Amino acid sequence: MEKQAVHCIGCGALIQTEDPDEAGYAPKSALEKEQVICQRCFRLKHYNEVQDVPLTDDDFLKILNRLGQVDALVVKIVDIFDFNGSWLPGFHRFAGKNPVLLIGNKEDLLPKSVKRAKMANWMKQQAKELGLRPVDVLLVSAAKGHGMDEAMVAIEQYRNGKDVYVAGCTNVGKSTFINRIIRQATGEKDVITTSYFPGTTLDMIGIPLDDGTSLYDTPGIINHHQMAHFVGKNELKVITPKKEIKPTVFQLNEQQTLFFGGLARLDYIKGGRRSFVCYVSNALKIHRTKLENADDLYARQLGELLQPPGKAEAADFPALVRHEFSIKEGKTDIVFSGLGWVTVNEPGAVVAAYVPKGVQVMLRQSLI
């Protein structure tokens, strides 16, 4: 008789006992336990250590494609500090006809001065530009629980008795969100793996809801254009804000440059002396220099003074790509996907923003 398939309670991968290098590996002894956890999740949980698992983008896409074939509410989670980086390109096609509730996570990191409604509006407008018309846009902090009651009410309302699929790119806080829902609904703790490391939730995990329907955790798609994928796990801790961001103000003259570690750069080209307000992780060092010295400094100090990337990664770090902007409207944010943004208070500035190839940088109306 065929044995019933067992899934890891951490990541949802199908448990196998043959190949330690493949997803879902667990030693035979682990199978005797009532709740089986794969070795990868075990290590992650107990030693905070990631193991790479060869799950191809194709596998992820296949899993996501199932979304279009079901009749459900899709909850799409994005990281508000990495909106574009954490967007799944073509998501509206995956979702098919299903209604999508868009949730921006990590609200706890926003300074008080940032208007939540403006952030939600911006998300709505961005989603529309990317081809998605969500039924609603909400902000939450899955970690702190802010907005979670409202999110649960909205899910209940929009799902209309159907299953719920939670989708999102890796590292947006999808597992934290689902864990929070489960905990609020049942009192169980940390059922799904959460971590700093992108790509820890595999395959779909079904969580039964009281009425016989299910809440599904879809895998976190790895979006190779995310800033998070250009840095190692220690550096990821530096660029991921842990608590409310404290803006840092720089008074810059024309022809001055700011480096955000070695990950991004902002040249102030023209527009007279003015202030630039930086909203990035408090742990990320911002370095000011003269524009004329910037290239040289970067060439000499990447991985040293300008970290992250760390010393070991500096050699392979992709060259930064320059994007020039002329700021014509009032208060404007220069948004660096995955890092944060810089607010310019008055129009009339010419700047150049640099990010690794594929990472987005864009202007938006300030959220203050």
The site for ligand GDP (CB under 6 A) is made up of 105-106, 108-109, 141-143, 168, 170-176, 194-196, 200-201, 220
The DSSP output letter for 152 is H
> Least distance from C-beta 273 to ligand GDP, angstroms?
34
Q: For residue 309, is the peptide bond before it cis, meaning its omega torsion is within 30 degrees of 0?
A: yes
Q: In what order do the strands lie in the sheet with 361-365?
A: 248-252, 274-280, 340-344, 332-336, 361-365
Q: Taking a C-beta distance cutoff of 8 angstroms, is the pair 172, 217 a contact?
A: no
> Least distance from C-beta 357 to ligand GDP, angstroms?
23
Cβ nearer to ligand GDP, comparing 240 with 256: 240
> Least distance from C-beta 166 to ligand GDP, angstroms?
9
Separation of alpha carbons 98 and 67, rounded Å: 8
In order, the DSSP letters of 24-47 are TB--GGGGGSSS---HHHHHHHHH
> Least distance from C-beta 96 to ligand GDP, angstroms?
22
> Least distance from C-beta 11 to ligand GDP, angstroms?
9
Q: In what order do the strands lie in the sheet with 320-327?
A: 286-290, 256-260, 264-270, 349-356, 320-327
| Residue (of 181, 78, 81, 163) closest to 127 by Cα position | 78
Cβ nearer to ligand GDP, comparing 151 with 353: 151
**Closest residue to bound ligand GDP by CB:** 173
How far is CA 352 from each of CA 254, 255, 267, 329, rounded to the nearest angstrom? 12, 11, 5, 16
Cβ nearer to ligand GDP, comparing 84 with 141: 141
> Least distance from C-beta 335 to ligand GDP, angstroms?
18
Q: Which amino acid is at 235?
A: E
Separation of alpha carbons 183 and 197, rounded Å: 22
> Least distance from C-beta 229 to ligand GDP, angstroms?
13
Q: How far is CA 204 from the centre of its chain?
A: 19
> Least distance from C-beta 289 to ligand GDP, angstroms?
30
Cβ nearer to ligand GDP, comparing 196 with 250: 196
69 Rama sector, left if φ>0, alpha if ψ -120 to 50, beta otherwise? alpha
Supply 132's token pair: 């998605």
Cβ nearer to ligand GDP, comparing 195 with 360: 195
Supply 37's token pair: 């956890």
Cβ nearer to ligand GDP, comparing 12 with 271: 12
Cβ nearer to ligand GDP, comparing 174 with 229: 174
Q: Taking a C-beta distance cutoff of 8 angstroms, is the pair 140, 127 a contact?
A: no
Cβ nearer to ligand GDP, comparing 108 with 235: 108
Cβ nearer to ligand GDP, comparing 85 with 271: 85
> Least distance from C-beta 158 to ligand GDP, angstroms?
21
